Structure 1
Amino acid sequence: MSLVPNGDKVDKDDKGNKARVFFALWPDVAAAARLHDIASRWHVGLGGRVMREDSLHATLVFIGDVATDRLATLLDLAGEIDAAAFGVAFDDAGCWRHNQIAYLGMRRMPDALRNLQFELATRVQVAGFRIEQRRYSPHVTLIRKADCSSEMREKENLGESLENKNPATEPVAWSVRDFVLVKSSINANGSRYEQIGRWPLLEDYLTP
Structure 2
Amino acid sequence: MPRLFTALEIPRNAAMSLSLLRGGLPGGRWIDVENYHITLRFIGDVDGRTADEIVDRLDRIDRPEFSLSLNGVGSFGSKKPHSIWAGVSPAPEMFALQAEIERICQRIGLPPDPRRFSPHVTLARLKASRVEDVVHYMAGRGDFSTVPFTVSRFVLLSSKESVGGGPYLTEEVFPLHEAVSRPVLSSSASHPAKSMV
Quote the residue 1:83 is aligned against.
63
Task: Give the number of aligned pairs.
Answer: 178
In structure 2, the partner of 1:134 is: 115
Structure number, greater radius of gyration: 2
- Pick closer, same or farther for the CA change 1:37–1:123 going to 2, 3 Å: same
Q: Offset at 1:205?
A: 5.7
SS of 1:35 mapped into structure 2: helix
Give the Cα–Cα distance (whole angstroms) in 2 for the partners of residues 189 and 127 of structure 1: 26
Equivalent position of 1:171 in the other structure: 145
Select the structure that is richer in helix: 1
Identity of aligned residues (%): 28
1:20 corresponds in structure 2 to 3
Q: TM-score w.r.t. structure 1 length? A: 0.76
Higher strand proportion (structure 1 or 2):
1
Corresponding residue for residue 114 of structure 1: 95
The alpha-carbon deviation at position 174 of structure 1 amounts to 2.2
1:88-107 matches, cutoff 5 A: 88-97=68-77, 98=80, 100-106=82-88
Uncovered stretches (5+) of structure 2, i.e. residues with no partner: 182-197
What residue is the counterpart of 1:183 in the other structure?
158
Deviation at 1:47, TM superposition (A): 3.4
**Runs of 4+ in structure 1 displaced over 4 angstroms?**
187-190
Instruction: Give per-residue Cα distances to partners, 1:43-100, cap 9 Å, x unaligned.
Output: 2135311101111100001111111232111111111110000011221311112561
> Structure 2: how far apart are the matches of 1:142 and 1:189?
11
Kept after mapping to 2: 8 A contact 1:58/1:140: yes
Kept after mapping to 1: 8 A contact 2:27/2:129:
no
